[in-house]
């Protein structure tokens, strides 16, 4: 399907209009393909516009390359993630622990930003050109460790410089100076065809100069008053801190890099030098960072939300209502950058800027979220069950068989409902046949027979689970199937809920409740005009019904009985409610 890339262009145009950078370029990725790009401004003051082949310093986005190099050496048996960093960096042998009972700082803790080192922006940026010997001298003087290793997240540039030194000492032999950079360029960049990317600015053909303001808020607080001005920055030679922020790259090259991470979740083979398992490992939340609540009163995401953020290996990882996002920003004197992607859809956004810390991170995130929301909304019946992956054929057939069983089973006959060929052994113990027969008879009395399969797809809360809305003669069935982990999976749970249609009086009562002037209704309407879905969430057929209400990106319930009560539904249940809203509307 085509994407609304015009909305992406508009967002980046608005960002450029803030006058935070002389120029910026951006691209949209689907899988390994760069499908859209745009640019604003110039590479130099008064110069040409940047393009997807223009090369910028990507700063801390370099950490993903360092982490990939560490895992590549781990996979080759040359590094152990759970070994103390002092085994690979001898200058740290005499570094005292934070406390007598503190664990050793390992490569794994450094990779996941949980080694106890304090945050060091922007100090780390200014160490970029440090030579191998000078870095060794620095390490001989010891480090500051702020808390016990392994207990929390704190971003550290020094930690990734230490990983770079470990790589140098492992692969560099008697000449470790620059061996980390050489290893990444030859073992990662070259096989991926990232020919425009390199560490040393002297090797860059199409390098975009960085630009710095007189004062930057990240360094000094208030900007100087008056018109915005920039000074072209001198290129910084590559050195021992390159592992944390020294890479230069282009949107076109980074599309290949992002595509490699997206492709790690595909069954198709590829020629990436790092295994798919290790690429997936990098994208998992290895160290939890924080949970943040969100509140939006307008726009496509109007509503309450939350995002859990943490660090993988060289990558940040977020989880929210749209699923998993993987990303990293880069900020450096003269440059700002951002790459992020959504593994489930394969969509990603990359942006590079030529001004200090002007990486347009919020813009890139907003652009990708719009694309993902659009993609998932039009993604067909499987859009609610992306978690299923390899179990889909078996889950599809099990659900189809369960619906057919419910339609054809004779509660008065002699055959048991839970036949061993379809149902696991526990089913008869959990839901005895005598009671299941009664349940099916009562369900048919309420809504009649199922009319067919699951025309609206199904929702999966985990790999082997499917919740499906199945139309019936006088209402519907909500069926949930759960598969067993046997070699040939069978149904271990079948939940059957018969939901009759609600009468017009109940619907009218629910509508009236939404016209109330209570604080609850005022809060609901703050997120958008409410949509009452008149097919009920639940209904007893005579006196009680629950209705789903959608307002912006929020979900509410109107419980109709002797009176109507409106309550907000928890955001954790939004994925299931999104499926139900679609199905109850009729697809």
Least confidently predicted of 176-185, 220-229, 479-488: 220-229
Give the model confidence (pLDDT) of 331-379 as tens digits: 999 999 999 999 989 999 999 999 999 989 999 999 999 999 888 777 6
For the segment 380-385, the average pLDDT, to the nearest whole number, is 67
- The residue behind tokens 């993630």 is 81
Within this chain, do residues 192 and 329 fall inside the same structural domain, yes or no? yes
Q: SS3 letters for 221-258?
A: CCCCCCCCCCEECCCCCCCCCHHHHCCEECHHHHHHHH
pLDDT at 301: 74
Within this chain, do residues 42 and 20 fall inside the same structural domain, yes or no? yes
Tell me how far apart the alpha carbons of residues 343 and 354 are, in angstroms, rounded to a whole number: 28
Give the model confidence (pLDDT) of 473-516 as tens digits: 999 999 999 999 999 999 999 999 999 999 999 999 999 999 99
Is 113 in contact with 105 (CB distance < 8 Å)? no
CATH number at residue 351: 3.40.710.10
pLDDT at 531: 96
Within this chain, do residues 373 and 415 fall inside the same structural domain, yes or no? no
Within this chain, do residues 471 and 327 fall inside the same structural domain, yes or no? no
Q: SS3 letters for 141-209?
A: CCCCCCCCCCCCCCCCHHHHHHHHHHHHHHHCCCCCCCHHHHHHHHHHHHHHCCCCCECCHHHCCCECC
pLDDT at 29: 97
| Residue 304 pLDDT > 80 | no
Provide CB contacts within 8 A for 244, sequence distance 6+. Answer: 60, 62, 63, 66, 124, 157, 158, 159, 160, 161, 164
Q: Report the SS3 class of residue 298.
A: coil
Q: pLDDT-based confidence at 303, cuts 50/70/90?
A: confident
Within this chain, do residues 195 and 76 fall inside the same structural domain, yes or no? yes
Give the model confidence (pLDDT) of 334-343 as tens digits: 999 999 999 9
Give the model confidence (pLDDT) of 282-294 as tens digits: 999 999 999 998 8
Within this chain, do residues 122 and 103 fall inside the same structural domain, yes or no? yes
For the segment 16-33, the average pLDDT, to the nearest whole number, is 95
Within this chain, do residues 307 and 228 fall inside the same structural domain, yes or no? yes
Edge-to-edge strands, sheet with 303-311: 33-41, 23-30, 347-353, 335-342, 323-332, 316-320, 303-311, 287-296
Within this chain, do residues 489 and 523 fall inside the same structural domain, yes or no? no
Tell me how far apart the alpha carbons of residues 390 and 429 are, in angstroms, rounded to a whole number: 29
Across the chain, mean pLDDT equals: 93
Least confidently predicted of 304-308, 550-554, 576-580: 304-308
The token pair that represents 201 in the structure block: 């600015």
pLDDT at 71: 98
| Residue 387 pLDDT > 90 | no
Q: pLDDT-based confidence at 96, cuts 50/70/90?
A: very high
Within this chain, do residues 213 and 311 fall inside the same structural domain, yes or no? yes
* pLDDT cut 70: percent of the chain above it: 99
| Residue 108 pLDDT > 70 | yes
Rg for the chain, CA atoms, rounded: 28
Of the CA atoms within 13 Å of residue 433, those in its CB half-sphere come to 14
Within this chain, do residues 430 and 322 fall inside the same structural domain, yes or no? no
Domain boundary at 354, 379, 404, which?
379
For the segment 511-528, the average pLDDT, to the nearest whole number, is 94
| Residue 299 pLDDT > 80 | no
pLDDT at 389: 75
| Residue 35 pLDDT > 80 | yes
Within this chain, do residues 487 and 580 fall inside the same structural domain, yes or no? no
Q: pLDDT-based confidence at 300, cuts 50/70/90?
A: confident
CATH number at residue 487: 3.10.450
pLDDT at 31: 92
This prediction has a pTM of 0.88
Q: pLDDT-based confidence at 1, cuts 50/70/90?
A: low
Within this chain, do residues 373 and 394 fall inside the same structural domain, yes or no? no
- State how many domains the chain has: 3
Domain boundary at 352, 379, 406, which?
379
Owning domain of residue 519: 504-585
pLDDT at 587: 64
């Amino acid at each position: 399907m085509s994407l609304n890339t015009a909305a992406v262009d508009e967002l980046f145009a608005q960002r450029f209009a803030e006058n935070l950078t002389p120029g910026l370029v951006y691209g949209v990725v689907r899988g390994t393909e760069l499908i859209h790009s745009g640019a604003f401004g110039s590479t130099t003051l008064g110069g040409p516009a940047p393009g997807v082949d223009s090369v910028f310093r990507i700063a801390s986005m370099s950490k993903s390359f360092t982490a990939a190099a560490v895992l590549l050496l781990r996979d080759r048996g040359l590094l152990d993630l759970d070994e103390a960093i002092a085994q690979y960096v001898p200058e740290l042998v005499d570094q005292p622990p934070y406390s007598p009972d503190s664990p050793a700082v390992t490569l794994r803790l450094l990779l996941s930003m949980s080694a106890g080192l304090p945050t060091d922006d922007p100090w780390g940026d200014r160490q970029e050109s440090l030579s191998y010997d000078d870095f060794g001298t620095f390490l001989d003087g010891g480090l500051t460790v702020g808390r016990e290793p392994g207990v929390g997240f704190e971003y550290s540039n020094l930690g990734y410089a230490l990983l770079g030194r470990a790589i140098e000492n492992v692969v560099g032999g008697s000449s470790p100076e620059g061996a980390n950079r050489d290893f990444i360029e030859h073992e990662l960049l070259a096989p991926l065809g990232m020919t425009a990317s390199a560490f040393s600015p002297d090797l860059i053909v199409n390098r975009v100069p960085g630009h710095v303001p007189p004062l930057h808020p990240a360094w000094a607080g208030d900007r100087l008053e008056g018109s915005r001005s920039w000074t072209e920055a001198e290129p910084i030679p590559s050195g021992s801190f390159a592992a944390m922020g020294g890479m230069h790259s282009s949107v076109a090259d980074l599309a290949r890099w992002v595509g490699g991470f997206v492709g790690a979740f595909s069954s198709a083979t590829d020629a990436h030098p790092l295994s798919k398992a290790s690429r997936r490992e990098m994208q998992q939340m290895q160290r939890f960072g924080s949970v943040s609540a969100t509140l939006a009163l307008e726009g496509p995401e109007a509503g309450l939300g939350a995002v859990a953020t943490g660090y993988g290996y060289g990558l940040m990882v977020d989880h929210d209502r749209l699923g998993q996002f993987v990303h990293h920003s880069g900020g450096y004197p003269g440059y700002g950058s951002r790459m992020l992607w959504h593994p489930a859809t394969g969509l990603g956004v990359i942006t590079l800027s030529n001004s200090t810390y002007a990486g347009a991170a919020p813009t890139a995130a907003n652009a990708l979220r719009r694309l993902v929301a659009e993609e998932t909304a039009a993604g067909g019946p499987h859009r609610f069950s992306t978690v299923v992956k390899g179990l889909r054929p078996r889950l599809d057939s099990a659900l189809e068989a369960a619906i057919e069983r419910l339609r054809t089973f004779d509660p008065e006959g002699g055959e048991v409902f839970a036949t061993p060929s379809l149902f696991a052994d526990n089913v008869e113990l959990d839901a005895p046949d005598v009671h299941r027969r009664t349940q099916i008879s009562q369900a048919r009395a309420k809504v009649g027979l199922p009319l067919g399969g699951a025309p609206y797809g199904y929702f999966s809360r985990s790999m082997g689970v499917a919740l499906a809305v199945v139309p019936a003669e006088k209402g519907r069935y909500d069926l949930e199937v759960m598969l067993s982990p046997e070699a040939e999976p069978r149904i271990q749970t079948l939940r059957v809920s018969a939901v009759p249609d609600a009468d017009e009086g109940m619907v009218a009562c629910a509508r009236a409740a939404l016209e109330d002037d209570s604080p609850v209704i005022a809060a609901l309407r703050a997120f958008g005009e409410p949509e009452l879905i008149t097919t009920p969430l639940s209904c007893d057929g005579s006196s009680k019904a629950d209705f789903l209400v959608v307002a912006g990106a929020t979900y509410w319930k109107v419980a109709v009985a002797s009176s109507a009560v409106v309550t907000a539904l928890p955001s954790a249940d939004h994925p299931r409610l999104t499926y139900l809203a679609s199905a109850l509307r009729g697809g």
